[in-house]
Amino acid sequence: MNSELSSIIESLIFSAESALSTDRICELLNEFERDEIKAALTELIACYQERGGGFELVEVAGGWQFRTRPAFHSYITRHIKTRTSKFSQSALETLAIIAYRQPITRAEVEHLRGVDCGGVLKSLLEKHLVRILGKKDIPGRPLIYGTSKEFLDIFGLKDLKSLPTLREIQALDEQPQYERQEELQLEPAKAIPVESDLPFE
C-alpha cells in the first residue's frame, strides 16, 4: 500500500465540501496512475472497516466521503441539534415518483398522484433534491425532472441503482415468520357435569 498516496487521498476527501468522485481525485493527482488511486481507495475502505471507529469512508452520490457510522446516530444527535428537513406526505410521494420514474414531466407526476404538484415540485427544486433535465420532445415541450446529487447525498445512496426495489419495500410491510404462526389448538373443553351426573351418597 502506498501510504503517502493514501494519506493524500484521505486529506483531499476530508477537506472536500461534498463527495469527491474518483475522476476528480485522478484529475487532482495526475502524477499517479488511476489504478494506483483505485487500489488506495479500496485499501482505505478496508482500513476504516477493520478499525471499526466512529466514522467510515463510503461512496455516496457518485463520490467518496467520510461519514459517521449509522450505529452511532442516536449519540451524535445528542451533541448536534441539527434541524432536520421535514417533508410533507405530498413531497415524499412526489420525490419517490420522480426517483423511480425519471426522467418524468410534471403532467406525468400529476397523473400518477391525481393532484396538482406545481407547489411541491417548486419546493423540491428549491431544496435541490430535484433538477430539470431538459425538455421532452413532444408538443408543448414540457420540462422533464430527475433527482439531483443532493438527493443521493441526503439519502446516503451511491447511485440510483441503490434505491430499494419494490420487493424490498413490500418486505418491510410483511410480518416476520414468528408473528404469523397459526394459533395453537387447545384441548377440547371438558364437559361440566350437570347435577344429575353427580354421584349421591
CATH number of the domain encompassing residue 106: 1.10.10.10
Are residues 137 and 112 in contact, defined by beta-carbon separation less than 8 angstroms? no
How confident is the model over 123-127, as a mean pLDDT? 90
Which residues lie across from 144 on neighbouring strands? 105, 134
| 15 and 64 both lie in a single domain | yes
| 95 and 68 both lie in a single domain | no
Residue 105 in grid coordinates: 414531466
**Nearest-angstrom CA–CA distance, 51 and 58:** 14
Instruction: Please give the backbone phi and psi of residue 145, each rounded to the nearest 5 degrees, phi first.
Output: -115, 155
| 24 and 69 both lie in a single domain | yes
Of 70 and 143, the structure prediction assigns the larger pLDDT to 143
Average per-residue pLDDT for the chain? 81
Which residues lie across from 40 on neighbouring strands? none
What pLDDT, on the 0 to 100 scale, is given for residue 201? 46
What pLDDT, on the 0 to 100 scale, is given for residue 89? 86
| 75 and 111 both lie in a single domain | no
Q: What residues make up the domain containing 136? A: 89-154
Of 18 and 147, the structure prediction assigns the larger pLDDT to 147
Which residues lie across from 145 on neighbouring strands? 104, 132
| 56 and 12 both lie in a single domain | yes
How confident is the model over 143-164, as a mean pLDDT? 86
How confident is the model over 55-61, as a mean pLDDT? 86
* Residue 143 maps to a domain: yes
Residue 15 in grid coordinates: 477537506
* Residue 145 maps to a domain: yes
Is the model's pTM score more than 0.75?
Answer: no
